[in-house]
Structure 1
Amino acid sequence: MATEIADGVWRFELRAANAYLVVDDVPTLVDAGTPWDADAIRSEFEDAGVAVADVGRVLLTHYDLDHVGTLASLTPDLDAPVYAYGFDAQLLCGARSPPLRNHKGLIQRLGGLLTDRPDLDVVGVRDGETVGSFTAYHTPGHTPGHVAYVSEALGVALLGDLVSESDGDLDPSEWLISYDTGEVLDSIRGLAERAPPFEVACIGHGDPITSGGSEALAALARRI
């Protein structure tokens, strides 16, 4: 069942990762579950009282099977641009393939065999660019094109898999699921310095933080 974690912000708790629906200037889907979550995510939309066809954009934090998997299955009802960054946008378009020389790239290459490419417009987003009320922050490490989005107006940060949550604390993305853990740590510190304050931290894995989100990120930045 979809859970409203803040005004106009809904958590879709899927089988492997969270997706989110944010009512910004247009209804905005944030990430999209695995290829096996299509029925579940449609049900979550019904719980939130928003039709899939009403979605005006998709914000993709990164390319992974558990974050892009339902995009193809949601069409033709879903007809909205997908915003993604650099390398990850190219993976989604099929313009590049994950590198076999990196352990995470190998995982992505295998996951790609199970993921259909969506027939949607993919819009490349740049660091510092504004999409709706959200500002994009390039946060590489988990993937080369990982991006976080922060809305100062809404007090919401979309952190993807830059971090995970456990018992109310944030932790860096782990080695096994990251391209470069050194970059992960640098990205956490950089985002903590650059981003405006936010209350709600929407996280791919674990429970979202609904109060004091920027303080939790700053605490992690000091700890690592």
Structure 2
Amino acid sequence: MLNRVTLPVTAFAQNCSLVWCSATNKAALIDPGGETDRLLAEIRQRNLTLESILLTHGHLDHVGATGEIIATQPVPVIGPGKEDAFWITALDQQVQMFGFAPVPGFTPDTWLAAGDSVTVGNETMEVYHCPGHTPGHVVFVHQAQKLAFVGDVLFNGGVGRSDFPRGDHATLIHSIMHTLLPLGDAFTFVPGHGPESTFGHERQHNPYLR
């Protein structure tokens, strides 16, 4: 089973997800946007072994703690899609854009693409490419538990911004309508910010999807 806890971090209340395999206690952090000490303390308190960092996209509020974490925990950084490399190489400019304190740079060990998969202990998540918010945005899907970690593609009652460089609203809506919603109404998703929802709820009630 894939266990999880959502840990909102920084002034942006970005949902970092700590996920772990119940059989092995091996864990991953999805989108560690900041507050490194708090995230590592959570891992220690649960007696977990961090084995990777998984990134949905390259925006600073989702990757900000990555460089600090790997400086003390030498684990692979997996994701996002390579089309987001320009965001990660521009962390210094992002710091100025978002008003963050400076953060260490990093380079992902593995870039992801549609059809890839990632593992957390004995658990596997499929990778879906969902551009629009950023060009290399990916989503992690655990089919067995009908669970998706969607970053900033879709929110409870909203969708991601598309006014950043290489964002595109029509592409974003296409990603939601043709990649995410076909997974099924029963899927619960963890967005990058705000409360969880289901694809079914958003299909019926999200004003941006009508």
* TM-score when normalising by structure 1: 0.74
Q: C-alpha separation between the residues in 1 aligned to 2:187 and 2:104?
A: 35
* TM-score when normalising by structure 2: 0.78
Give the match's secondary structure for 2:18. Answer: strand
Equivalent residue for 1:82, pick from 54, 77, 94: 77
List alignment gaps of at least 5 residues for structure 1. 1-5, 99-105
Q: C-alpha separation between the residues in 2 aligned to 1:147 and 1:86?
A: 10
Corresponding residue of 2:30: 30
RMSD: 3.0
Q: Is the 8 A contact 2:77 2:110 kept in 1?
A: yes
Aligned-pair CA distance for 1:199: 3.8
Structure 1 residues 152 and 187: alpha-carbon distance in aligned structure 2, compared to 1, 3 A threshold:
same
Work out the percentage of aligned pairs sharing the same amino acid.
22
Corresponding residue of 2:196: 208
Q: Is the 8 A contact 1:89 1:122 kept in 2?
A: no
Give the match's secondary structure for 2:72. Answer: coil
Q: Is the 8 A contact 1:192 1:218 kept in 2?
A: no
Aligned-pair CA distance for 1:174: 2.8
1:42-84 deviation digits (Å, cap 9, x = unpaired): 333345x045xx2112211000111110011113332222221
Give the match's secondary structure for 1:55. Answer: strand
Equivalent residue for 1:19, pick from 16, 19, 36: 16
Alignment of 1:23-102 (within 5 A): 23-24=20-21, 26-34=26-34, 37-47=35-45, 49-51=46-48, 54-84=49-79, 85-89=81-85, 91-92=87-88, 94=89
Structure 1 residues 20 and 197: alpha-carbon distance in aligned structure 2, compared to 1, 3 A threshold:
same
Aligned-pair CA distance for 1:108: 7.7
Q: Is the 8 A contact 2:4 2:19 kept in 1?
A: yes
Q: C-alpha separation between the residues in 1 aligned to 2:101 and 2:135?
A: 20
Where is the strand percentage greater, Structure 1 or Structure 2? 2
Aligned-pair CA distance for 1:177: 5.0
Q: C-alpha separation between the residues in 1 aligned to 2:94 and 2:71?
A: 28
Give the match's secondary structure for 1:80. Answer: coil
Residue 169 (structure 2) pairs with residue 181 (structure 1): yes
Q: C-alpha separation between the residues in 2 aligned to 1:164 and 1:193?
A: 13
Q: C-alpha separation between the residues in 2 aligned to 1:13 and 1:181?
A: 26
Q: C-alpha separation between the residues in 2 aligned to 1:161 and 1:201?
A: 11
Corresponding residue of 1:218: 203
Q: Is the 8 A contact 1:162 1:184 kept in 2?
A: yes
Structure 1 residues 50 and 154: alpha-carbon distance in aligned structure 2, compared to 1, 3 A threshold:
farther
Corresponding residue of 1:190: 178
Aligned-pair CA distance for 1:144: 0.7
Structure 1 residues 199 and 214: alpha-carbon distance in aligned structure 2, compared to 1, 3 A threshold:
same
